[in-house]
Structure 1
Amino acid sequence: ALFSRPLHPYTRALLAAVPTLDPESEPAAVVQGEIPDPSRPPSGCRFSSRCPQASDRCRRDIPLLREVADGHHVACHAV
């Protein structure tokens, strides 16, 4: 399910950034936004500063890991 149905925005961004060998394909995506300082992580979701779906809740509250399908877990307020 991770590769066939990625749910977390960070997972989607990572998979979109994988280059292909096909020269006719779209270029690999680049994750936009500011990379947080790992010695001073932001409150809330650690990906919120780079996530296109981030809301105030994401920036404030750490999302809890929850099972969304058998064996498929995600920690994201937007999913």
Structure 2
Amino acid sequence: MSNSITGHTGLLCLLGSPVAHSISPAMHNEACRQLGLDYAYLAFDVDEEHLKEAVDGLKAMKVRGWNITMPCKNKMCA
């Protein structure tokens, strides 16, 4: 990942609640930087009640990938 986000930058993200404390963005953004990948990894606070809508939105926007925290993982598996 370069230091600038462009119209070509892919989105990766974490969904769950709470996620503000997560080190995933720092870890994944550094990995992308070291690998020269043009991605940005963000954390989105999404509760179980809104998980389906969030995932539908990510699919519609062709987001490259996402992780989901517990307990949202259980709902996603169902």
Superposition TM-score tier, normalisation by shorter sequence: under 0.3
Higher relative contact order (CA 8 A, sep 6+): 2
TM-score by length of 1: 0.24
More helix by share: 2
